[in-house]
Structure 1
Amino acid sequence: MSRDFANKSSANRASASPKPKAPDPQEVAQRKELPAWSWLIFGVVLGFGLARFLDEDKPVPEIPPAPVTEQAPLPAPAVSEQNSDSEERKRFDFYNLLPQQEVTMEEVPEYKSTPRDAENLPSYMLQVGSFKSRADAERFSEGLKRKKYSPVIAESSNGWHRVRIGPFKGRRELNKAQNDMSRSGIQSLLIRLPQ
C-alpha cells in the first residue's frame, strides 16, 4: 500500500510537533540576566587581577650599583714645532698638487649654423578627406573654401577622390592648418611633397 507523504492530514501534523509553552511571567521575573557590558567589565577586572598575581610571584633581581672609580686626567702630550709643521704640510699638500694636475683645454671654434634657404625647405600638403563619389568631395571642399582654404580634389586610379589643402612652405602655417582641422573634427594626413 502506498502513502501520500505530500498531503498528510493536519491532525497528524499537530500531534507530531507539540507547541512550546509560553514562559510563566513569575519565572521570567525571577530569572534576571546580566547586561553584556557587565560581563565585559568583569572580564577586564579578572584579567588585571590575574596579571598582578602572576607578576608578584617573580622575585625582582637586585642589581648592585657599579663601582665608581676616579680616573686622573691624562697629561697633554708635548707638541713640538717640527711635528706641527710637517702635519700641516701633509694636511694641506693639495695646494701644491692641484696646479701640477691642471688640464688645459684646446679651444674649439664656435659652431655657427647656416640658415636654410626658403627654396630648399620641404613643402607639405594636408589630405583632409577621401570620397568615393566626386559630388561628396566637392561638397566637402565647399566647406573648406568657407574656412578660407584652397582645396584641391585629386582623383586616384582606383576611383577615390582625395581632398587636399596646401601646399605649406613653413611648419607654422602647417601646424595652424592641422590645429584648425582638428578643432573642426576633421582628421588630416600629412603628405610631404617631393622637391
Structure 2
Amino acid sequence: MDYANRKRPAKRTPPKNTKKAAKKPAVSWWVVLLAIVLVSGFVWLLVSISGKSEQAPQQQVPVDVPESQPQPVAEPIPDKPEERWQYIEELENQEVIVDVPEREVGPPKLMQCGSFRNISDAEEMRATIAMIGLEAQIRTTDGSNGVWHRVILGPYEGRRAAETDRHKLQRGNIRGCQIWNWN
C-alpha cells in the first residue's frame, strides 16, 4: 500500500440539529474534598515538625565519679626551643653552577603563504598580510611548469619566530602557510 499517495480521510462534522449536552463540572466535589484533606494533613505535619525543634534541650544528669581514682595533674608544657638551622648559613655563600648546553642554530627559515600564477593574486595576498602587520615579499620563479609568484615572509633566525608570525596570520584568517629552510 502506498501511504504517500493515499488520500486523506474526510473530516467528520457533527450534525447541526443536535442539542448541546449540558456541561458537567470540570472537577467533582470528592476530588476537591480529597485535595483539602491532603493540604491540611501536610500543614499539620509541618507544624508538628517545627514544634519539635523549638523545644528546650533536656538537662543531663551529671554522673558521679568515684573518689578513689585520683585526677591526673596536668604538667606545664615547656617552652618551644629555638631551632638553629645550619644550612641557611652554608647556602648564603654558595654559588650554583648550571651547565646549559648551547642551542644549535639551524639554517634560517622562510614562510611561504601562497603561490600564484597571476601577479595580481600575489599582490592581493601581500596586501592582506600587510594589513595584519607583517611584511611579505613576492618572488617570481620561472620553472618547467610555468611562471609562479610566491608570497614569502622571512628570513627568520629560528622556527619559533616563524611560528609566532604564522599564528598572527592564522588569527587574520590566512591559513596554509608553510615554514621551510631558507634557500
If the TM-score is normalised by the length of the shorter chain, which range does it land in?
0.3 to 0.5
Give the TM-score normalised by the residue count of structure 2.
0.40
Relative to its length, the structure with more helix (as a share) is 1
Give the TM-score normalised by the residue count of structure 1.
0.39
